[in-house]
Amino acid sequence: MKNLRIGAAALAISTVFTASALAENGVHADRIVLGQSAAFEGPAAALGTGMREGLMAAFNEANAAGGVHGRRIELKTYDDGYEPNKAIANTNKLIDQDQVFALIGEVGTPTSKAAQPISTEKGVPFIGPFTGAGFLRKAENSNVVNVRATYDQETEAWIKHLTEDLGVKNVAILYQDDSFGRVGLSGVNKALKKRNMSLVAEGTYQRNTTAVKSALLKIRKAKPEAVVMVGAYKPIAEFIKLARKARMDSVFVTISFVGSKALAKELGDAGKGVVITQVVPFPENTSIPMVAQYRKALKAANADAEPGFVSLEGYMVGRLTIQALEKAGKDVTRENLLAAVTNTGSFDLGGVTLNYGSGDNQGMDDVYLTVIDETGGFKAVDKLTADVVKK
C-alpha cells in the first residue's frame, strides 16, 4: 500500500513536471506574462509612459472581463532610457530571467534595432513596436507584428502635402543622428527625388540631448520654406522655439514618434501651426467605437492619464494582442500566436481594422495630418493651407 502511494505521488509529480516542461515560457495556469523595454526616463520618457498606459488600459479591461481563456495578462516593464545598450540588457533579462511569453511596445528605432534580432533569434514574438522603421517590416522577421504605418509613408505624406498644397520648393531637415533619424532622412530623400527635388540643408543632433543650436544655424542659412523634423519631443521643441526667436518663417513638420501631446506642452505658445503626421485615429474622435472604448478603459486604468496619440497606439497594440491570444486558443504557444495573426488576417478593433497576411506583418497604412492650434490642442486637417500653418 505504501509503495502504491509512493508510486501515485511520483506519477503526480511527474505529470506536473511534464506539463510544466511542455508549457510555453510566460504562460501559467492563471496568467500570461509579457515584457516591455521602453523609455521611462529622459527626453523620450513620455513615449514609454504613453505606450505603457495604453497597453495597461487594454490589459486591465480584458482582465476585468475574466482575462483570455481564464488567464489575466501581466506586463513586466524595464526602463531603457531610449538607449540601445540598455534595451539589449533588458531584452535578455526579460527573455532569459523573467521568461516572458512575448515582448511588446518597444519604443524607438535604435532600441528596436538592438532588441529585435535577439527576440527573432530566440523565437519570441516582438509585438507593436512604437516605430515605423522599415527593417521591422521585412518578411524574414516573422516574429515581428507591427501595427502602424512606416516612416517612409509618413515622409511621403509630408512632401506630398508641402509641395501640392503649399507649393513648397525648398525643404530642409533636422534629424536625430542615429538609425531613427537616418530612416527618416532616407524617406524624405526618396519623396523629394520622386519630385526631382533635393534638400537645401541638413542639421543633426545627438540622441537624448537638446543640442540643436548648430543645426539651427546651418538650416537657417538656407532659408528653407519648410523644415521637416525626425526626432523626439524635447529636442524638436527646442529647435522650433529657437527658430521662432530667430524669426524663421518656415513651415515646421514632424513625425508621429515625436510624442504629440508632450511636444505641444513643451512648445507652449510657440506650437501654433506645427504640423504632425499621425498613424492612429484622433483620440478625441469618439464616433469611432474603439476610441470611445479606449477613453473609458484609460480612465478606468489610470484616472490621471490624459488621452493622446501615443497611449491610443498602445491600446491598439494591446487590443490586437488580446484578440490574437483568444484566437490562438487555451493551449497558446508563441508559434500559434504568430500563426493566429497571419492566418486570421483581419482584426476589427471597433471601427479600425488591422490587416495581416503571409509576408505582411504591418496592420495599418493610414497617415493622418494634424496641426497644433492656438490652445495647444490638435486639429485634424485634410490639406495644408497658409492659414493652417501660420504662427
CATH code where residue 171 lies: 3.40.50.2300
Check pLDDT > 90 for residue 3. no
Which range of residues forms the domain containing residue 76? 29-148+285-360
Q: Tell me how far CA of residue 85 lies from CA of 37, 71, 81, 90, in angstroms.
A: 11, 33, 10, 9
What DSSP element (H or E) covers 123? none
Q: Is residue 169 domain-shared with residue 261, that is, in the same domain? A: yes
Q: Is residue 384 domain-shared with residue 304, that is, in the same domain? A: no
Q: Which of 143, 150, 84 is nearest to 113 (CA)?
A: 84
Q: Is residue 352 domain-shared with residue 381, that is, in the same domain? A: no
Q: Is residue 116 domain-shared with residue 172, that is, in the same domain? A: no
What pLDDT sits at residue 1? 40
Q: Is residue 218 domain-shared with residue 274, that is, in the same domain? A: yes
Q: What is the C-alpha separation between 276 and 335, in angstroms, rounded?
A: 37
What pLDDT sits at residue 17? 37
Question: Does the residue 351 lie in any domain?
Answer: yes
Q: Is residue 191 domain-shared with residue 236, that is, in the same domain? A: yes
Residues 178-212: tens digit of each pLDDT: 999 999 999 999 999 999 999 999 999 999 999 99
Q: What is the C-alpha separation between 57 and 298, in angstroms, rounded?
A: 5
Q: Strand, helix or coil at 127?
A: strand
Question: Does the residue 259 lie in any domain?
Answer: yes
Residues 50-98: tens digit of each pLDDT: 999 999 999 999 999 999 999 999 999 999 999 999 999 999 999 999 9
Q: Which of 263, 238, 258, 240 is nearest to 250 (CA)?
A: 240
Q: Is residue 41 domain-shared with residue 105, that is, in the same domain? A: yes
Q: Is residue 36 domain-shared with residue 142, that is, in the same domain? A: yes
Q: What is the C-alpha separation between 282 and 377, in angstroms, rounded?
A: 11
What's the mean pLDDT in 132-154?
A: 96
Question: Does the residue 204 lie in any domain?
Answer: yes
pTM of the predicted structure, to 2 decimals: 0.91
Q: What is the C-alpha separation between 380 and 93, in angstroms, rounded?
A: 41
Question: Does the residue 22 lie in any domain?
Answer: no
Question: Does the residue 208 lie in any domain?
Answer: yes
Q: Is residue 273 domain-shared with residue 310, that is, in the same domain? A: no
Quote the number of domains for the chain.
2
Q: Is residue 228 domain-shared with residue 375, that is, in the same domain? A: yes
What pLDDT sits at residue 36? 98
Question: Does the residue 20 lie in any domain?
Answer: no
Q: Are strands 226-230 and 251-254 parallel, antiparallel or unpaired?
A: parallel
Q: Is residue 68 domain-shared with residue 140, that is, in the same domain? A: yes
Q: Is residue 208 domain-shared with residue 330, that is, in the same domain? A: no
Question: Does the residue 347 lie in any domain?
Answer: yes
- Bridge partners of 146? 362
Residues 20-32: tens digit of each pLDDT: 334 799 999 999 9
Secondary structure of 164-186 in the HEC alphabet?
HHHCCCCEEEEEECCHHHHHHHH
Question: Does the residue 10 lie in any domain?
Answer: no
